[in-house]
Amino acid sequence: MTQPIIEIKDLALSYGPQQAVLNNIQLSLERNSVTAIIGASGSGKSSLLRCLNRLVELTPNARITGDIMFEGESIFGARVDPTILRQRIGMVFQKPNPFPMSIFENVAYGLRLAGEKSPRVLQEKVEQALLAAALWDEVRDRLDAQAAVLSGGQQQRLVIARAIAVEPEVLLLDEPASSLDPISTLRIEELIYRLKQDFTIVVVTHNMQQAARVSDWAAFMHDGTIVEYDNTTTLFTNPREVRTEDYITGRFG
Amino acid sequence: MLGNEHQKQHISGQFNSELETLKNDILAMGGLVESQLTLAVAALLEKNSAKALLVIENDQSVNALERRIDQECARILARRQPAAGDLRLVLAVLKINLNLERVGDEAAKIAKQAKVIVESNDSGSQFVQLRQLARPVMRTLRQSLDALARSDVMLALQIVREDVSLDTLYGEAMRALIKHMQANPVAIGTVLNELWALKALERIGDHASNVGEQVIYMVKGQDVRHLTAGEMPVWHSE
Ligand SMILES: Nc1ncnc2c1ncn2[C@@H]1O[C@H](COP(=O)(O)OP(=O)(O)OP(=O)(O)O)[C@@H](O)[C@H]1O
Ligand SMILES: [Mg+2]
């Protein structure tokens, strides 16, 4: 692996006095690659994603120890502005959450937040993002319609367009294809494959076959720790750890 | 036990039983072609055409079982999308199946040569060379099936390593037969048949070695094909 874009060191997280939900996390993310995070419900996948852009700090009582290096610098450094960090490390949430506004405004939202005022630039960037998210053809004639009228799969691609409009360097996708039909799911996967040319992608998924299809690297989480991290082919054909084997082959743990 | 080193059950009982069926069938395939080979060699050495005919007839069952195992593998791949050890099991079974079916083909070839030799009424040959090669080849096939049944990597590795010595034995036997043929031109017909049978035995040795390689892949996830003796990984018995 060349110089990783993100390096997680001894990361631990707790949401209060209860026991930690993340423990001793070490992980290096390769630039322009897709890393899949798999693991049972409650194992800490979403929590780990939320650490990467410091979103977790918005949860009261959340306590992080350890460090996360992004392009060689700690994301917890005094000079780091969390808002700017979240622009550079974008996130798409587990449930598609379009804002109650038009399709256009949904995608323009982050750009306006970042201070973009020129209608021409906004128009151009919204179109680019919708094209990249493979949604443009389906919405070009109704950009002023409410986002809520879109189908589930279209909403999912809309929130991806919203995330990539601000041109982040890293894209965090939490279950981007849950509750989608197989064709929409394949579209999202195809999209992930194309997007990795421009972004580094971390995708959380419950669908093992999906992780095997889209990712270059895969991490298996269990009880807040990373049990195994390897290139995807190795992890799915010849995992080192019995716990990984049991999980991906569907055996009793 | 064939397959996984640890014996945890799948959450899906149905998947469990599909894998069990597959394991049983590939072992049955091994047993079938092994008895075909034993019978074919006996037909030849005893000049018994009844046994030879039986082998030729039984080849149908070998082919039928080969098809069934392939179908089971295809069904598991399509419906279960197996991963890790399960995936390696299915991939290895596919290849082992192919190799065992070829062992069956070679056994049938030996039986056909036996039939021709018996019918030619040329009782001159004592099959010295065939006897010399048949014994170690049959032993190697037996060992490869044991290695499969017990997921025994050490035994599999030994088989793969020793394949060269079978090849050497074959080379020696072939040269001896050719010499014999040159010295006794009248025996050419029979010796040619013997040479074909000898070649079939040598191929069976190769297939047994391939089974050994697949057992190693199945258990360890390592591809040891086309490695020289020095490149072979070293494992310690557990
Ligand atoms: N805001 C919160 N406050 C307290 N505990 C939380 C909070 N968010 C998550 N947790 C706890 O942290 C643990 C990990 O949750 P997380 O959402 O990261 O899991 P996950 O792997 O994403 O699960 P899923 O696959 O179901 O989305 C769980 O035990 C959960 O209850
Ligand atoms: Mg989650």
Sorted by where each begins, the domain ranges of chain B are 2-231
Give me the domain span that covers residue A117.
6-248
Looking at residue B224, the DSSP 8-state letter turns out to be -
Q: What is the pLDDT of residue A183?
A: 81
Whole-angstrom distance, CA of residue A132 vs CA of residue B203: 56
Within a domain: A222: yes
Q: What is the pLDDT of residue A251?
A: 85
Number of domains making up chain A: 1
Please determine, for residue B4, whether its predicted confidence score (pLDDT) is greater than 60: no
pLDDT digits (tens, 9 = 90+) for B151-193: 999 999 999 998 888 999 999 999 998 888 888 887 788 888 8
Within a domain: A27: yes
A232 touches chain B (CB under 8 A): no
- Distance (Å) from the C-alpha of residue B88 to the closest C-alpha of chain A? 7
Whole-angstrom distance, CA of residue A27 vs CA of residue B235: 30
Please determine, for residue A253, whether its predicted confidence score (pLDDT) is greater than 70: no
- Distance (Å) from the C-alpha of residue A209 to the closest C-alpha of chain B? 8
A242 touches chain B (CB under 8 A): yes
Q: Is A6 left (phi over 0), alpha (psi -120 to 50) or beta?
A: beta
Go through chain B and tell me how many residues it has: 238
Please give the class, per CATH, of domain B2-231: mainly alpha
Nearest CA to ligand 1 atom 12: A21
Contact between chains at B82 and A249 (C-beta distance less than 8 A) = yes
Residues of B with CB under 8 A from a CB of A: 6, 8-12, 15, 81-88, 221
> What is the number of other CB atoms lying within 10 angstroms of the CB of residue B170?
22
CA end-to-end span of chain A: 32
Nearest CA to ligand 1 atom 25: A41
Within a domain: A1: no
A250 touches chain B (CB under 8 A): yes
- Distance (Å) from the C-alpha of residue B110 to the closest C-alpha of chain A? 39
For residue B128, report the distance from its CA to the centre of ligand 1, in Å: 74
Average pLDDT over residues A121-130: 95
Residues of B in contact with A244 (CB under 8 A): 84
Please determine, for residue A138, whether its predicted confidence score (pLDDT) is greater than 90: yes
Q: What is the pLDDT of residue B1?
A: 63
For residue A126, give the CATH number of its domain. 3.40.50.300
Within a domain: A214: yes
ipTM greater than 0.90: no
Average pLDDT over residues B109-137: 85
Average pLDDT over residues A205-226: 94
Please determine, for residue A181, whether its predicted confidence score (pLDDT) is greater than 90: no
pLDDT digits (tens, 9 = 90+) for B23-50: 999 999 999 999 999 999 999 999 999 9
Which ligand lies nearest to the CA atom of residue A40 in the structure? 1
Helix runs in chain B, H state only: 13-45, 49-80, 84-120, 128-150, 153-183, 188-220
Within a domain: A37: yes
Average pLDDT over residues A1-9: 89
Which ligand lies nearest to the CA atom of residue A47 in the structure? 1
For residue A74, report the distance from its CA to the centre of ligand 2, in Å: 24
Contact between chains at A250 and B10 (C-beta distance less than 8 A) = yes
Whole-angstrom distance, CA of residue A77 vs CA of residue A43: 28
Nearest to B11 among A212, A248, A250 (CB): A250
Contact B28, B96 (CB under 8 A): no
Within a domain: A253: no
Residues of A in contact with B87 (CB under 8 A): 236-237
Within a domain: A45: yes
Please determine, for residue B5, whether its predicted confidence score (pLDDT) is greater than 60: no
- Selection from A194, A126, A192 nearest residue A162 by Cα: A126
pLDDT digits (tens, 9 = 90+) for A145-168: 999 999 888 998 999 999 999 999
Nearest CA to ligand 1 atom 2: A15
Whole-angstrom distance, CA of residue A156 vs CA of residue A203: 14
Q: What is the pLDDT of residue B237?
A: 63
The DSSP line for B162-220 is HHHHHHHHHHHHHHHHHHHHHH-GGGHHHHHHHHHHHHHHHHHHHHHHHHHHHHHHHHH
CA end-to-end span of chain B: 14
